[in-house]
Amino acid sequence: MHDLIQRYIAETVRHLKSTERDEVEKELEANILDMVGERATDEEIENTLLSMGSPLELASKYRQKERYLVGPANFDMYLMVLKLVALIVSSVTILFTILSFFLNPAGLSIFEMLAKTIGEAFGAATAVFLWVTVTFAILDYNQVKTKHDEWNLAMLRSLEAAPTKIIKKGEVIADLVGLSIFIIILGFLYSRSDLLAIYQKDATPIPMFMASELRPYLIGWVIVTLLSFIMAVVKLVTMRWSKPLFAISAALDVVGVCYFIVVITRWNMYNKEFLDFFNPTIVKWQTIIKISSAALVVLTLIGIAHDAYTTFWKKGSLNITTD
């Protein structure tokens, strides 16, 4: 099957739910091959695909359920804007809330800081949902349609040449949640160095780290984590791998693991009383940290190798025989 047909089908089903994609993919493949025939020229194939309309418009015809929160003509644009703005606003809100813990310590407990961060993020997301929805409802009421670029030959030829390099949404969302939680933990550690500590009844907690040694590294750690968070947002928006995206993502992964190892191997950062409680020698403790660091490096390299395979070598589910 012609490569351009595969790209067109992949771009169409990308706009559908995962449960609908396989069936639509098979139906589209059969329909297009019936229309173009076995010996169609490149020009005939292009004209056929142009006549079928843009993949976005075609996908809307295949949806099993129409969506009516906002009119179907504007819903795709509404959903894209809502996701993007909600992510940006919530991320900025979380960032400034955490920075407020650093700059203006108010003596809040860990649970109070966590509740405040979650509350601020939820409030920001709710406000975004309200105003984006109201805006699009007004556009619908006044019968204003968000304009899509006219489907033409240039757009057809510019479809992603490797349409199977899809980024799994679930993995990106898990990354965003994990990174958000980690940023919050870093904020807590900056404000309360005894967060990671040995707690005993009727005794002062024994913190794992020396606050004066740890804090300078936490700011850099927050910056590296925020960069990874931004990269995850970019992945969620694009939803497919490209060479530049892979390169930046892999570089951030390497920087992140290297920074982690640099921080975790600052031996003067650990509280001697904490180590004495478990009674290991400093050599044993350093060995444990080094083994853990090596395991983290291996896992990171496996993740990068998987992304590289998806970006450069993974083949699609359709059997391609380019004419």
pLDDT per residue as tens digits for the range 113-133 = 778 878 888 888 888 788 777
Q: What percent of the chain is predicted at pLDDT more than 70?
A: 78
Residue scoring higher pLDDT (75 or 288)? 288
Residue 65's pLDDT band (cuts 50, 70, 90): low
Contact predicate 271/208, CB 8 Å: yes
| Residue-level pLDDT at 236 | 73
Amino acid residing at 237: V
Q: Phi and psi dihedrals of 270, rounded to 5?
A: -85, 140
| Residue-level pLDDT at 180 | 76
On the CB side of 303, CA atoms within 13 Å amount to 15
| Residue-level pLDDT at 250 | 92
pLDDT at 269 over 70: yes
For residue 218, what are its two tokens? 């936490």
Contact predicate 5/44, CB 8 Å: no
Amino acid residing at 101: F
Contact predicate 308/250, CB 8 Å: yes
Rama region for 279: left / alpha / beta (φ>0; ψ in -120 to 50; rest):
left
72-103 vs 55-62: helix crossing angle, rounded to 10: 100
- Segment 174-187 shows an average pLDDT of 78
- Segment 252-280 shows an average pLDDT of 86
Listed in order, strand segments (DSSP E) in the chain are 197-198, 206-207
211-258 residue pLDDT tens: 888 888 888 888 898 888 888 877 876 777 888 888 999 999 999 999
Q: From residue 189, how far is each of 50, 59, 265 by CA, in Å?
A: 57, 48, 18
pLDDT at 298 over 90: yes
| Residue-level pLDDT at 68 | 54
* Prediction pTM value: 0.56
For residue 143, what are its two tokens? 């019968």
CA-CA distance, 163 to 316, in Å (whole number)?
8
Question: CB count, 10 Å around CB of 189?
Answer: 21
Residue scoring higher pLDDT (11 or 194)? 11
